[in-house]
Amino acid sequence: MAQSGSNTPVSAAQERHGVAAGLKDQVSGLMDSAIALRRGLHAWPEIGNTLPKTREQVLAALDGLPLDITLHQTTSGIAAMLTGDKSGPTVMLRGDMDALPMPEDTGLDFASNVENCMHACGHDTHTSMLVSTARLLSERRSEIPGRVLFMFQPGEEGYHGAQFMLDEGLLNVSPLSDGTPSPIKAAYALHIVSSIPVGMVGSRGGPVMASSDTLSITITGRGGHASEPFRTLDPIPVACEIVQALQMMITRRIDTFDPSVVTITRLIAGTTTNVIPETALIEGTIRAVSEKTRNKVHENIRRVAEGIAAAHEMQAVVEIKYGYPVTVNDTPSVDFALDIAESLLGEGKAVRMPAPVMGAEDFSYVLNKLPGAMIFLGGTPADKNAATAAPNHSNRVYFDETSMSHGVALYASLALRTLGVTLS
Ligand SMILES: [Zn+2]
Ligand SMILES: [Zn+2]
């Protein structure tokens, strides 16, 4: 284990060497237990905000570490606080713990034992990396000026788990025992991605992931005989017109440089070939990378759907359910994180992404409150190439576990460097 905390100035090169020599040794010593925990979590995945088995495994793995643990009541969330020997602010690291409702077809030795439940987004690796980081930083407690808050959250896959933890007071951290305030200075989350090569990370300042809302439009006409449409109000052509018009709205009303996606994923109408039904239902998803465009798209969907229905003497009822907000990274935090990642992984291995990804993340709720960043971690399996490996959320996705050593080193370095520890 490397010792640091001396006041001797070190050059960037020395620091890099020091990181490689000290932290990396410490990380490699933790990898067997990290992989074992990850496989244990993978074999017993759970969905949503209630993850009793997962919580049990995480608590067992944290047992014996000098952490103040708060078990959240509204969800299976765990907040674990490590207090260093010196005073200073707090830095928060997040790992999500939930799986997806889908079958697993990877053929892995440690594949899911639970029918229709799979860790297909790699949250098992995140949880395990965060546990290992807690171990690593506990060993370095004497050199930590401040605190590290480990956020183990459930319900990332659409259940607003992070928001539940915020509502339960996650960010209201108490002062240190001597009364010194120790507010949370920054928050970081890593997300493993099977389509980014191992040994690389990527992120960007500003919007990094999209908002995700769901859309439902019910068109009500008047049913009747299919041979006499003029005696009815047929909602089916109106539904088709609305679907087309929404695509035109996106290209004509929305700023090309602040884009949005509206995808209609479900159309339901009718029961047979000789009946005009009374109603038609349209459902889909709405993505945006700014709150301004998000709101504008919502307004435009309402106007277009209601206007087209009215033009044909029908009614459209538009229901938009808010999902996660846009995930917006703090640019200085991204610069800081990518610089650290490059020092760990080598030149050219920390990439600034040219555009956001259109998936969504509930770490967005945290980044609406604190500066910080969401960083993508390369995890392409060794026998695949990044372009064709099964993607996250595939029933066949798997990850290279060596990427977890990069994740632990990055989590730990982010915490130490945010608190001002020079890695030497
Ligand atoms: Zn996911
Ligand atoms: Zn995920």
pLDDT at 424 over 90: no
Domain with CATH 3.40.630.10 in the chain: 12-209+326-418
Q: What is the pLDDT of residues 215-226, one digit of tens each?
A: 999 999 999 999
DSSP state of 401: T
Q: Does the domain made of 12-209+326-418 have the CATH classification 3.90.1150.10?
A: no
Question: Could you tell me the two tokens for 317?
Answer: 């009822």
Distance 123 CA to ligand 2 centre (A): 6
Distance 393 CA to ligand 2 centre (A): 8
Q: What is the pLDDT of residues 44-74, one digit of tens each?
A: 999 999 999 999 999 999 999 999 999 999 9
Distance 118 CA to ligand 2 centre (A): 12
Residue 21 pLDDT: 63
Residues of the chain with pLDDT > 90, as a percent, come to: 94
Neighbours of 41 (CB within 10 A): 27
8 A C-beta contact, residue 158 and residue 323: yes
pLDDT at 8 over 80: no
Residue 5 pLDDT: 37
Nearest ligand to the C-alpha atom of residue 100: 1
Taking CB atoms within 8 Å and a gap of at least 24, the contacts of 383-391 are: 384/194, 386/194, 386/195, 386/196, 386/197, 387/195, 389/194, 389/195, 390/194, 391/194, 391/195
Residues of the chain with pLDDT > 70, as a percent, come to: 95
d(CA 356, CA 254): 17
Report the top-level CATH class of 211-321: alpha beta
Nearest ligand to the C-alpha atom of residue 122: 2
Could you tell me which residue, 423 or 324, shows the higher pLDDT?
324
Distance 289 CA to ligand 1 centre (A): 18
Domain with CATH 3.30.70.360 in the chain: 211-321
Distance 243 CA to ligand 1 centre (A): 27
Residue 392 pLDDT: 97
d(CA 386, CA 4): 37
Q: Which residues are catalytic?
A: 324, 401
Average pLDDT, the chain: 95
Residue 14 pLDDT: 45
Distance 408 CA to ligand 1 centre (A): 20
Distance 122 CA to ligand 2 centre (A): 7
Neighbours of 289 (CB within 10 A): 24
The angle, 0 to 180 degrees and rounded to 10, between the axes of the packed helices 123-139 and 52-62 is: 20
